[in-house]
Amino acid sequence: MGLHHHGGHAHDHAHDHDHLTAPVDSSHVFDTSIPDSELSPGEVSRRGLLRGVGLLGAGAVAAGALAAPDAADAHDGGPFGRSWHQGRRSGYQWLAGDHHIHTQYSSDGMYRVIDHVRHANAYGLDWMVITDHGSLAHAKLGVDLVNPQIVAARSDVPDTLVFQGLEWNIPAAEHGTVFVHPSRNEVAVLKEFENTFDGAVTNTTASTPANEALAIAGVNFLAGAVTSRRIPDALFLANHPARKGLDSPHEIRGWRDAQPRIAIGFEGAPGHQAAGIPAPFGPGSGRGFYDGSPSAQSFAPYPLESYRTWGGFDWMTATVGGLWDSLLAEGKPWWITANSDSHTVYNDTSDRGPGSDFNTNGRYNDPVYGGGKTATTSGDFWPGFYSRTHVGATGFSYAAVMDGLRAGRVWVDHGGLVDGLDVKVRAGSHWVTLGDTLVARRGSRIQLSVTVDLASQPNWAQFIPKLARVDLIRGAVTGAVADRDVFTTARTRVEKSFEVTATSGQVTFTYDLGTLDQGFYVRLRGTDGNRTAPGHLGAVIDPVGPAMDVVGDADPWKDLWFYTNPIWVVASR
C-alpha cells in the first residue's frame, strides 16, 4: 500500500506507475512572479511546457486570472497574511495559525471574537478558528450569535483569516475541532451538526459502541455536506487526545478511515501551555491541564504516563514508536497541530462582563477591566503568543489553508523556537516536502535536506530561543494492523541527531537515507535541549527525547520543541 496526494487530497492506493515528481500546483506555475528556482522540478517542467505553447507571457493576463483566484476571493488588496513576507519554501507560503480558540459564546470563555482576532494578528497569525464549546446553549443560540462577530472580524482584520467552527464533544470520546469554509451555509451546517452529533447536546458522551458509531456518523455528515455542496469544505481534528484517555486507538482509526478528507489528525501539543507555571506565579497544574488520571470511560491499556504532556506535547505524539507512529507506519496520513485552546489568558487583567446569564443568553457580556488583578490561575496564552501551526499554502485564502492542513504540509513550534523550516526528501532531482510521498524506483538513493532559519528576534517572553538539536525519526511502513487498538510500532526510532552550534542565521543538514528497498517515513523534531530524557519506550528507540512534564512545575518557556509532519518514501513497482 502507498499513500499519495493529488492537488491537496490524499488517499491510499496501490501504486502501479512511476511518480517521481513533486506535486504540481497550477497557481505556482502560472504565477510568473515566482522564479523558476522556487518551483519544484515538476512545476518547472509544466511551466516550460506552457511557455512552449505560448500560454505564459500571453502570459501576464492569463497568469493574473489563474494564478491566485483564492487570494483574489479573499482580498480586495492590502497585505496577504502576517507570514507572507517570509517568502516561499518548497513552493509554498507557510502561514501560521491556530484552530482552537474560545470566546464569550463558550460556557468557560470570556473574550469577544475581535479581542482574539486582534491579538492573534498582533502575534503573527495568518489564520485562526473560533471553536466555542458545543452545548445546549451554544447549539440553540451561540452558533448563530457568534457568526456576525466573525463576519465583522473578517472585514476589520483582513490579513488574518477567521474560520467559524466549534469544539465538538465527540460522542464516546474527547473534544475535537470542527470547522468549515466560510459560506452562506456555514452556520446552518454547524448548527445541524451540533444538534445531531454533539455528545453533550445529545447525551452521548459515554464510551459505548452506539456512541462511537454516532461519532462516525458525524464525520460522515460533514463529508456529505461538502459532497452535496452545502458548504465548500470541512475539517475535523481531535483535541488534547490523551488528556483523559478517552480517545481509544480504534476510535481514532475509525474517524480517519471513515472520512480521511475530513478527519485529518489530532493536536500534537495541546493548548493551556501556561497551566504548568508553578504557583503562586501560575496555575501550578499540569502543562496543558494534563493533570488527571484514568476514569471508567478511559481506554484501560493506556499507561499512567499518557495522562501527562512530554515537553509540552501530547503523549501520543511525543512517544517515538507510539500511537502517532503506529498510524504513520500503516501508511495513514494523520497529522499533528499545536494551538492555544485560549479561554482566559494568563496574567490578563480582564473580567467577564458583569450581570451575565450565559444559559439564557448563550453568551457572557463583554469583558471589562478587572480593577488591577491579574489572572495568575489562568492557563492559556493568546493565539499566536506561544503555540503555532505553520501550514504550507498555495495562497492566502481559506481554501488554501484547509488544503494545506489536509495535505499535511505542517510543522508546529512552541515559543518561536525557530523562524522557519524547509524539509525535502529527494531521489535524484525529484523531491517532495512535508505530508507528501516520494515514489521512487527500488534501488534509488534517497536523501534528506533540512534548512532551519534560527530564531532571529525575541519571542513574547522576551528572549531569543536557541535551537540545540534536531532529531531525525524514521519508521518502516509495515501496512495495516490486525489489532486496531495497537498504539505502538516496533520499527520506528531516532536515527540521527544533528547538534546545532550556530546561534543565528541559517543551518542546513543533509543526510543520506540510503538505498530504497522498503517503504519508510521520516519526521523531525527540534529542541532547545533544556529538558530531555530517554523516551517512553526506552533509550534504544529515543535516547534524548522530551521529559515528562512535572505537575505544578513546568514553565513552558524553558522547554521548547518543534515537530514536523512526516514524509513517506515508497518504492514503485
pLDDT at 146 over 80: yes
Alpha-carbon gap, residue 165 to 176, rounded angstroms? 10
pLDDT at 399 over 50: yes
* Per-residue pLDDT at 89: 80
pLDDT at 10 over 50: no
Tell me the per-residue pLDDT of 538-572, one tens digit each, with 9 for 90 and over.
999 999 999 999 999 999 999 999 999 999 999 98
* Per-residue pLDDT at 78: 39
> Could you tell me the three cell numbers for 529?
535541549
The rounded mean pLDDT for the chain is: 88
* Per-residue pLDDT at 56: 38
Alpha-carbon gap, residue 573 to 562, rounded angstroms? 35
Residue type, 113: V
Section 499-504 average pLDDT: 97
pLDDT at 50 over 90: no
Section 255-274 average pLDDT: 98
Alpha-carbon gap, residue 294 to 298, rounded angstroms? 6
* Per-residue pLDDT at 83: 65
Alpha-carbon gap, residue 427 to 441, rounded angstroms? 9
* Per-residue pLDDT at 90: 79
* Per-residue pLDDT at 38: 55
Section 534-539 average pLDDT: 98
* Per-residue pLDDT at 87: 65
* Per-residue pLDDT at 36: 60
pLDDT at 430 over 70: yes
What percentage of residues in the chain have a pLDDT greater than 90? 83
Strand bridging mode 545-546 / 175-180 = unpaired
Tell me the per-residue pLDDT of 65-91, one tens digit each, with 9 for 90 and over.
222 223 223 333 334 556 655 567 878
Bridge partners (DSSP) listed for residue 410: 391
Pick the residue with more confidence: 59 or 450? 450
Query: Which stretch of DSSP H or E encloses residue 63?
Result: helix 60-66
Instruction: Residues 83-571: name the CATH superfamily.
Output: Metal-dependent hydrolases (3.20.20.140)
